[in-house]
Chain A
Amino acid sequence: GDSVTQMEGPVTLSEEAFLTINCTYTATGYPSLFWYVQYPGEGLQLLLKATKADDKGSNKGFEATYRKETTSFHLEKGSVQVSDSAVYFCGLHDRGSTLGRLYFGRGTQLTVWP
């Protein structure tokens, strides 16, 4: 079945450090991939997405590349800010699904210190 595995947190970084959050997936079909972010006290917001192999999604300085050969979609940012402190979720939608369900990882808590 479909599933997503994220690196476990929490991740703690100093401001301007480089960020990587690993995400790998298992899918029966050919999925679209997503990263969501959840700021304290809020629901999840779409951060970026990629719909086919070798696509790179990017937004707010974050980026992730859809790697079919390694079934991965790692999130990266070159220089994090305190305002990036949040929980990050990796997700997938299987193109073979007609019901619309997305599968999420467990989330990774990021804390950035000034």
Chain B
Amino acid sequence: DVKVTQSSRYLVKRTGEKVFLECVQDMDHENMFWYRQDPGLGLRLIYFSYDVKMKEKGDIPEGYSVSREKKERFSLILESASTNQTSMYLCASRDNPRTANQPQHFGDGTRLSIL
């Protein structure tokens, strides 16, 4: 089974801090994704990556950056945390970006609170 591990289930940070959310997958997947999930808004894609050091902006990249130095790890960075970034963050991975029938595999999420 694919395992996608997010480093923290719960995280509390202060406004203005630089925050790192880490995600690791164990199946050599090429694709990795970061979403945020908010009530009434569903999943919104922040950034995704289709290869090491390659990244693409999703629908709401403002205030975030990402890093993918190794294939198994995809980090989400809040450059200067703000209260409106309080949310549930979900990481996912997927095998091959060029195949249509591969599903995404999700981690359990990090609930981030910015005070």
Report A's interface with B, CB cutoff 8 A: 31-32, 34, 36, 41-46, 49, 51, 89, 91, 93-95, 97-102, 104-107
Q: Which of B48, B96, B100 contacts A94 (CB 8 A)?
A: B100
Q: Which residues from chain B contact A45 at a C-beta distance below 8 Å?
A: 106
Q: Which residues from chain B contact A42 at a C-beta distance below 8 Å?
A: 108-109
**B30:A100 contact, CB within 8 angstroms:** yes
Assuming the A-B contacts A43-B106, A43-B108, A44-B90, are A104 and B43 also in contact, with contact meaning beta carbons closer than 8 angstroms in the complex? yes
Q: How far is the CA of A89 from the CA of B103 in the complex (A)?
A: 13
Number of interface residues of B (CB under 8 A): 29
Nearest CB in chain B: distance from A100 CB, A: 3
**B103:A99 contact, CB within 8 angstroms:** no
Nearest CB in chain A: distance from B43 CB, A: 5
List 4 additional contacts besides A99-B97, A100-B102; criterion CB under 8 Å.
A44-B90, A100-B50, A101-B56, A106-B41
Task: Give residues 66-115 of B contacting A (CB, 8 Å).
Answer: 90, 92, 94, 96-98, 100-109
**B98:A98 contact, CB within 8 angstroms:** yes
**B101:A99 contact, CB within 8 angstroms:** no
Q: Which residues from chain B contact A49 at a C-beta distance below 8 Å?
A: 101, 103
